[in-house]
Amino acid sequence: MTTDETRTRVLDGVTVVDLSTFVTGGFATTMLANQGAEVIKVERPGTGDDSRHSGPPFVAPGDYDGPGRTPDEGESPYFWTVNYDKRSVELDLKTDEGLAALYDLAREADVFVENFRPGTADRIGVGYDDIRERNEDVVYCSISAFGDSGPWSERPGYDLLVQGTSGIMSVTGPEDGDPVKVGLPQTDLITAMWAAFGIMGALFRRELTGEGDRVELAMHDAALPWLTKQAAKAFVGEQPTRMGTKDPVLAPYQAYPTADGYLNVGCANQKLWRGLCEAIGRAELADDPRFETNADRVEHMDELEAELSATFEERTTDEWVERLAEEAGLPVGPVYDVPTALDNEQTEARGVVTTLEHPAVGEIDALEHPLNYEHAEAGFDDAPPLLGEDTEAVLRDLGYGNAELDQLREAGAIPDR
């Protein structure tokens, strides 16, 4: 029987070497770190991951004088959110000595992650064949904007571009407005989740067969399956459009203005719809031929919006939440700003926002991941690393002594502190 003393993490004992920058690889390996993997983040000397320089805001490093260093502008909280619980190693892969040290890391790794443009990893000596030659059982993950094949394969790409090519921007924003980028780096995060899923699947297959594998994915490909409702319309010849907060196939399923803000209402089946009409004192709407079925309500969505908005504007958001969610048990809720989303009784009760001790700036807030197991542990133990914080420690773990470290410094493969 599993007890609290014997609970382990799903990926305890798994080592990940992460050459990626920005979010796609970074968030994928953070997901693996949350499940117990040791993630060794290999960064460019002096510069590090590009997301270290994403800001403002930046947090000044103060008088920190331990191992590692912070960028000149300070620490980026954005970098923190996708790099918890990792170790940072600075290696100049343009030197023979730095590349050799990377190969030593790769020999001990279970997973190797890169997000170079297709062809770049092979050119600099860290492609799948290069790493597999040194570690036959490795799970190697390649992430790019448009993949290894197709006419766009050599194009560079970021979240903004892929939100455009995937159709997401075309269905986001007000009905009569311009295309709008989702406020989150959505396609970066979508891709990261697919990558982590693929890596976990390849690790499971390796347990069954003893064989490593290469997982290859593109941001553009990763975003398309998330279109779901919009793709369903396109597949039958309809043109999905921007609808604000409305839904293409459900009603009422949108945000409505209240006396002091907005209320999300998701009462889209018949029982919920009738319950809503009763609870807001508009029982007659349930028998209105325009709104009788979900299909009728979708067909007359603008008229439904006008009727419900007039009613919801009579009370505050909190009053409606208490009446409809708490008392009537209906799926309605407030539209929070980000600080309120991070600091409310539900978020606190679930422990989603926690704290970690950062070596340069002290205690920082951190976002935990949502997986809770009955018989396994999950969660972050350590703050995101300073640039190169673990360079010498990781290399010493591989058997490097003082002489070897001095040689790496002289060759410029690692920084000379």
- Given a cut of 70, whether residue 4 has pLDDT beyond it is no
* pLDDT tens digits, 168-177: 999 999 999 9
Please tell me the distance from the alpha carbon of residue 148 to that of residue 119, in angstroms, as a whole number.
8
Peptide bond into 289 cis (omega under 30): no
- Given a cut of 70, whether residue 5 has pLDDT beyond it is no
> Would you place residue 2 in the very low, low, confident or very high pLDDT band (cuts 50, 70, 90)?
very low
**How would DSSP label each residue in 319-354?**
HHIIIIIIIT--SEEE---HHHHHSSHHHHHHT-EE
Please tell me the distance from the alpha carbon of residue 248 to that of residue 93, in angstroms, as a whole number.
50
Backbone angles phi, psi at 72, to 5 degrees: -55, -35
Please tell me the distance from the alpha carbon of residue 219 to that of residue 146, in angstroms, as a whole number.
6
Q: Identity (one letter) of the amino acid at 416?
A: D
Contacts 24+ apart (CB under 8 A), 54-62: 54/78, 54/79, 59/361, 59/364, 60/361, 61/360, 61/361, 62/360, 62/361
> Would you place residue 406 in the very low, low, confident or very high pLDDT band (cuts 50, 70, 90)?
very high
* pLDDT tens digits, 292-333: 999 999 999 999 999 999 999 999 999 999 999 999 999 999
* pLDDT tens digits, 219-277: 999 999 999 999 999 999 999 999 999 999 999 999 999 999 999 999 989 999 999 99
Average pLDDT over residues 183-198: 98
What is the reported pLDDT for 66? 82
C-beta separation of 305 from 319 below 8 A: no
What is the reported pLDDT for 65? 79
* pLDDT tens digits, 10-64: 999 999 999 999 999 999 999 999 999 999 999 999 999 999 999 999 998 877 8
C-beta separation of 351 from 342 below 8 A: no
**Which strand ranges, in their side-by-side order, compose the sheet holding 111-114?**
86-90, 38-43, 15-18, 111-114, 139-144, 213-218
121-132: burial string, b at 16+ Cβ within 10 Å, e else: beebbbbbebbb
Q: Which of 188, 213, 221, 390 is catalytic?
A: 188
Look up 188 and say whether it is catalytic. yes
Please tell me the distance from the alpha carbon of residue 250 to that of residue 265, in angstroms, as a whole number.
11
Q: Percent of the chain, pLDDT > 90?
A: 94
What is the reported pLDDT for 103? 98
What is the reported pLDDT for 69? 87
DSSP state of 69: B
What is the reported pLDDT for 1? 35
What is the reported pLDDT for 67? 87
Question: Helix axis angle, 186-209 relative to 24-34, nearest 10°?
Answer: 50
* pLDDT tens digits, 156-172: 999 999 999 999 999 99
Q: What is the pTM of this model?
A: 0.94
